[in-house]
């Protein structure tokens, strides 16, 4: 969920648990949404069973000691239900005029957070830092899109949150790169869970469902295809349009519902259908069930859907009743 309102987050998290979801993730975007760890405290208080954590935070806006202390506090409050999602940074850093973290920075950050969570002293950027009161292990889920990032997630993370795409060929390539990272690091096959991140909307008409999340589809293309298109399986016919999207995308309107510049970009550039197929579980209940089942059949462990749109609780309720429940009955 994108925390635009704490009361809505509380009721949405409670509803998600009732509808059979196993995880609740909260976006970290201080310039556009409510504070991450305050929101996670609200989620912890509203739920009893679901795992909860950032999807995702970054190495630039929070010192690793701050992040370690915060997520350890959420883990204590939720009685051991926390995970820590980390990536290089998107709207949180772009709205501060910063550049996303490099892979080496993210690697060092993850190592430091883990050491401090365990109560150890860690060296971060030449200084010795610690979180003396913490003594715990919390799963780290690392956001990954590019070939090198996917391999790094396989080498160090407890889970990889992938936003490379949801089509069979892209998922096959993505999982293979994560497994190669595991092998290179001497880890057992499957040591890194694979969590697929999907934009979502569900309605009785596919065009209506897609229409409600066009701003989210633009966000997916902007995030997944940044830096380079190499190794990202983008057809030649869409490469120029994707490049234009990167120049036109408004970080200050990231994931914002309404008549925004981002909401019309994919239509202008002829990318809406391509992005909906690649990055979303969207459409009628039957279409969403079919897409979700294909994702799990491709070897994905967790499917994270977004409840971002004109009616987030409708997405949560309908997905729970018309997708999760039927699939579990199978």
- 20 — pLDDT class (breaks 50, 70, 90): very high
% of the chain residues with pLDDT over 70: 100
- Return the pLDDT at 226: 85
Report, as an integer, the average pLDDT of 13-33: 97
Q: Where are the domains of the chain?
A: 6-203+282-329
Q: What is the pLDDT of residues 143-153, one digit of tens each?
A: 999 999 999 99
28/89 Cα distance (integer angstroms): 9
Report, as an integer, the average pLDDT of 260-265: 94
61/133 Cα distance (integer angstroms): 22
Token pair recorded at residue 221:
């293309």
Please provide the average confidence, as pLDDT, over all residues in the chain.
Answer: 96
Token pair recorded at residue 123:
């060296």
- Return the pLDDT at 29: 96
| E-strand stretches of the chain | 23-26, 51-54, 84-86, 122-124, 127-129, 140-144, 159-162, 193-202, 280-283, 302-305
Token pair recorded at residue 34:
């409510």
155/299 Cα distance (integer angstroms): 18
Those residues with Cβ within 8 angstroms of residue 196's Cβ, 6 or more apart along the chain or in another chain:
162, 163, 166, 171, 295, 300, 302, 303, 304
Q: What is the pLDDT of residues 220-251, one digit of tens each?
A: 999 899 888 999 999 999 999 999 999 999 98
- Return the pLDDT at 330: 82
130/206 Cα distance (integer angstroms): 51
Sign of CA dihedral 162, 148, 172, 194: negative
Those residues with Cβ within 8 angstroms of residue 186's Cβ, 6 or more apart along the chain or in another chain:
none
Report, as an integer, the average pLDDT of 283-305: 97
Q: What is the pLDDT of residues 99-154, one digit of tens each?
A: 999 999 999 999 999 999 999 999 999 999 999 999 999 999 999 999 999 999 99
Among the listed residues 55, 54, 48, the one whose alpha carbon sits nearest the alpha carbon of residue 66: 54
On the question of pLDDT at 17 being above 90, the answer is: yes
The CATH homologous superfamily to which domain 6-203+282-329 belongs is Luciferase-like domain (3.20.20.30)
% of the chain residues with pLDDT over 90: 94
121/125 Cα distance (integer angstroms): 13
Report, as an integer, the average pLDDT of 52-58: 98
Those residues with Cβ within 8 angstroms of residue 52's Cβ, 6 or more apart along the chain or in another chain:
13, 23, 24, 25, 26, 40, 43, 44, 74, 78, 81, 82, 83
Q: What is the pLDDT of residues 296-322, one digit of tens each?
A: 999 999 999 999 888 999 999 999 999
CA distances from 241 to 83, 94, 212, 245 (A): 36, 21, 21, 6
């Amino acid at each position: 969920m994108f925390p635009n309102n704490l009361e809505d987050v509380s009721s949405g998290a409670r509803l998600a648990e009732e509808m059979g979801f196993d995880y609740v993730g909260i976006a970290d975007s201080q310039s556009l949404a409510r504070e991450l760890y305050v929101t996670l405290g609200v989620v912890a208080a509203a739920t009893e069973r679901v795992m909860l954590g950032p999807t995702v935070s970054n190495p630039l806006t929070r010192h690793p000691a701050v992040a370690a202390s915060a997520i350890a506090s959420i883990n204590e409050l939720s009685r051991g239900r926390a995970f820590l999602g980390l990536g290089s940074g998107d709207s949180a850093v772009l709205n501060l005029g910063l550049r996303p973290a490099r892979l080496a920075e993210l690697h060092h950050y993850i190592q430091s957070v883990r050491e401090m969570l365990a109560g150890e002293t860690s060296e971060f950027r030449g200084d010795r830092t610690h979180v003396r009161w913490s003594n715990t292990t919390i799963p780290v889920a690392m956001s990954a899109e590019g070939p090198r990032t996917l391999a790094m997630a396989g080498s160090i993370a407890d889970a990889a949150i992938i936003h490379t795409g949801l089509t069979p060929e892209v998922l096959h390539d993505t999982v293979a790169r994560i497994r190669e990272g595991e092998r290179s690091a001497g880890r057992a096959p499957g040591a890194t869970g694979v969590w697929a991140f999907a934009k979502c909307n569900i309605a009785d008409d596919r065009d209506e469902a897609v229409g409600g999340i066009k701003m989210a589809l633009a966000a997916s293309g902007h995030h997944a295809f940044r830096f380079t298109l190499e190794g990202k399986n983008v057809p030649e016919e869409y490469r120029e349009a994707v490049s234009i999207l990167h120049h036109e995308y408004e970080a200050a309107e990231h994931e914002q519902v309404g008549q925004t510049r981002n909401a019309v970009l994919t239509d202008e550039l002829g990318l809406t259908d391509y992005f909906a197929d690649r990055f979303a579980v969207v459409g009628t209940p039957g279409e969403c069930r079919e897409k979700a089942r294909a994702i799990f059949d491709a070897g994905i462990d967790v499917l994270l859907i977004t409840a971002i749109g004109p009616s987030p609780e409708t997405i949560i309720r309908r997905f729970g009743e018309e997708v999760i429940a039927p699939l579990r009955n199978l």
